[in-house]
Structure 1
């Protein structure tokens, strides 16, 4: 079983990318489980066609752990993709990162996850909280892809995630598998992401162009693979899924300083 996690700055498009990759993998015949580790519980929206109505933490607020059944927290999405949302605390109450810990521990105790070829964790943030680092720290995920654009703060978050991966790599199997560029149409973006990946001692797994098809699919609560399967954008996600399945270029990342990062971004912004 492949254990993969997508990390990146909030709002960078992790959930959209994860859902389209999950859909593509499923259409390729793989048994896929996507686990949303974001308190907004919207990771699997495009696969389910709606916001998940029953997260793990929702169930724990209404039932004793021993009374929760697998069907309470495991849902089936597009083309049979298994969908789970960890959920989060009520707004303004509690720690969202702690919610991930509780949810994943419960799934483990229940042996709730079906047999899968690929388990894909969609994780919020840049590993500043122990809860969000849990998929890396506890070995739930071994292959980490960082979703980033060419914008400075997105790259800053990516660099922080690389620091977290490097820290935990010394005591486990976790490795950086690549950068996924989710374009924001900034100057020299693809070239910048390629060089940024090289400095982190990894590669650019994919460069996803900014395309209105993605927005249209999201408005219909669908992945691009479902909404526009013959589109060029769908093919981009298929190629990314194929890359993930065949990728063996995993590494312990080498994060850079913020000064080096600023200079790198300025260099590409100036040249273009």
Structure 2
């Protein structure tokens, strides 16, 4: 096959032009597909797994068919749902089956509780492989298992937000999800991650993508207001504010489901489930680093710090030696 070089250059230039088009006039619409595929992102440890386990359980109580897929190499998304018990991951099961000359079956990797179907993609141990590649391999296996033929109202994907490699950006980059939800708190690091996710959505929208941000879930909300200010500044709604409450912390630590109408937190998770289902995918407005810092008091972030350039003498330290000047100095007349 011979490439037509002029046409190739023309195609390349068209892609570059499209990447710089202003798509601000795009109208956000509610997803029209029967199955809503929603990717949830957030800083590690911010409470995505807690939020998703209880959200999926409440959705199932509402009569929805829900599939929860953990896409975090820690494989902790389903642990709360299954009472702390770890389920075999798709990656490790696929490896073991391949060595045994067997095929992976759905019952090997997918388990259920309370009407929620759940599985973990898994990933390599530290230093033994790329987590992003593991995500890609996991989704390839899901396709072989018939992912596109499954009948669910909601598929919830739990992704790390503070890992920037391609595998973790898969739902945004390849339009695998209709919308994204970010989980954050009233701290700079979690909102920095949330802002990065918004930046990724904006980047791929400029490339012609269709994924939008449905909103922000504020976890461990202490009422200081930075997360809500972030949502307003980026143009996305707050879907729920989960308080920093000792009862929630204790029950989460003991792998107890609180996203149920039978408990005291049922109304909060019912509202979250309704908001997640109905929220349209929006195009966010990511903040600059200074804009993000501006949400916090300068005394907390050091936003008023002035950068002082280093000198060559600073870098050399004890090795610094005076150099003879090459400047020509004329005697006074």
Q: Does the pair score TM above 0.5?
A: yes
Among candidates 80, 83, 104, match of residue 68 of structure 1:
104
In structure 2, the residue matched to 1:99 is: 134
**Structure 2 gap ranges (5+):** 1-34, 302-333
In structure 1, the residue matched to 2:26 is: none
In structure 1, the residue matched to 2:120 is: 85
In structure 2, the residue matched to 1:180 is: 217
Contact 2:215–2:279 (Cα < 8 Å) also in 1 = no
Q: Which has the larger radius of gyration?
A: 2
Among candidates 72, 76, 79, match of residue 45 of structure 1:
79
In structure 1, the residue matched to 2:311 is: none
Contact 1:127–1:164 (Cα < 8 Å) also in 2 = no
Alignment RMSD (CA, Å): 2.1
3-state SS of 2:53 partner:
helix
In structure 2, the residue matched to 1:160 is: 196
Q: Deviations over 1:51-105 (max 9, x none)?
A: 433111011221229611111111112x120001000112321011211111011
Contact 1:39–1:96 (Cα < 8 Å) also in 2 = yes
Distance (whole Å) between structure 1 residues aligned to residue 132 and residue 251 of structure 2: 30
Instruction: Tell which deviates more after alignment, 198-207 or 142-151.
Output: 198-207
Among candidates 200, 221, 228, match of residue 255 of structure 2:
221
Instruction: Tell which deviates more after alignment, 62-71 or 126-135.
Output: 62-71
Displacement of 1:268 after TM fit? Answer: 11
Distance (whole Å) between structure 2 residues aligned to residue 148 and residue 184 of structure 1: 9
Among candidates 295, 298, 319, match of residue 264 of structure 1:
295
Q: Normalization by structure 1: what TM-score?
A: 0.90
In structure 1, the residue matched to 2:205 is: 169
Distance (whole Å) between structure 2 residues aligned to residue 121 and residue 268 of structure 1: 37
3-state SS of 1:18 partner:
helix
Among candidates 258, 269, 275, match of residue 237 of structure 1:
269
3-state SS of 1:48 partner:
coil
When residues 138 and 127 of structure 1 are mapped into structure 2, their CA distance, relative to the original with a 3 A threshold, is farther
In structure 2, the residue matched to 1:22 is: 56
3-state SS of 1:63 partner:
helix
Displacement of 1:269 after TM fit? Answer: 6.8
Aligned length: 263
Displacement of 1:15 after TM fit? Answer: 0.6
Displacement of 1:267 after TM fit? Answer: 6.9
When residues 267 and 194 of structure 1 are mapped into structure 2, their CA distance, relative to the original with a 3 A threshold, is farther
Distance (whole Å) between structure 1 residues aligned to residue 89 and residue 273 of structure 2: 26
Distance (whole Å) between structure 2 residues aligned to residue 266 and residue 219 of structure 1: 32
In structure 1, the residue matched to 2:144 is: 109
Q: Normalization by structure 2: what TM-score?
A: 0.74
Displacement of 1:182 after TM fit? Answer: 0.8
Contact 1:13–1:147 (Cα < 8 Å) also in 2 = yes
The structure where helix makes up a greater share of residues is: 1
